[in-house]
A = this chain, B = another copy of it.
């Protein structure tokens, strides 16, 4: 129930279409009880205006389909993240208009056109080619949330001129997401070059003492550049989401 629907509901109370008891019941149950799932949805709509995002890992294809179904009924756009190819096939059959992106393992379904809400451009950068899937997850999320997004891939620190050559793009962005594995040093470089919020995303790219991304994570947390904040390893979605919030401040 978004603000418009709520207003209609209140109007109906006013004009007597909805009786007192029914109104009591519906208001009381609004936030919590409305079948758990659905009521949460309403409340989120009220306070966020944001469409729901479905985290697919640990959910079965049927469960995801059910959630999508309920959301489509309410004319909400759909973003599913961390969706394996297997499940994607099943879901795609059921919602053939949706689009599956195998690299970032994301699925989107646009029911109504997303309105542009971000002010500036969100720039997504990767250190290496192996970091691209996570970067694309960030980019899809940010676009889904109504932002202009640009991407620059494979400009890691071992060839520092590559990122230096992109200073225009850095300067023009309003928020920058930097995705890097291994030693995770790129966010420090970028943070030193610009005067913009930088969100660092460590990836599990690497082997040996990269310890599944721990090395990149620690590197980013200890960044000597100011203005860098960090999200979980491989959490492209989280970075895209946070960047979207920042892009509307």
Q: Which residues of A contact B (CB under 8 A)?
A: 3, 6-7, 10-11, 13-14, 16, 20, 23-24, 27-33, 35-37, 39-41, 43-44, 46-50, 53, 57-59, 63, 82, 119-120, 127-130, 154, 156-162, 164-168, 171, 174-175, 181-185, 188-189, 191-197, 199, 202, 204-235, 237-239, 241-242, 245-247, 249
Contact = CB atoms under 8 A, between A and B. Distances in A.
Contacts of A238: 226-229
Contact of A193 (B43, B82, B225, B239): B43
B219 A183 contact: yes
Number of copies: 8
A88 to B, nearest CB: 18
A232 B209 CA distance: 6
Contacts of A47: 28, 194-195
Closest 5 CB pairs of A and B: A32-B165, A208-B233, A31-B31, A58-B130, A185-B185
Q: Which one of A43, A229, A237 has the greatest number of beta carbons of chain B within 10 Å?
A: A229
Contact of A162 (B16, B32, B166, B210): B32
16 contacts: A3-B24, A32-B162, A32-B193, A36-B154, A36-B162, A36-B165, A44-B161, A50-B195, A57-B207, A58-B128, A196-B249, A204-B208, A209-B218, A222-B232, A227-B241, A229-B242
Nearest to A127: B224
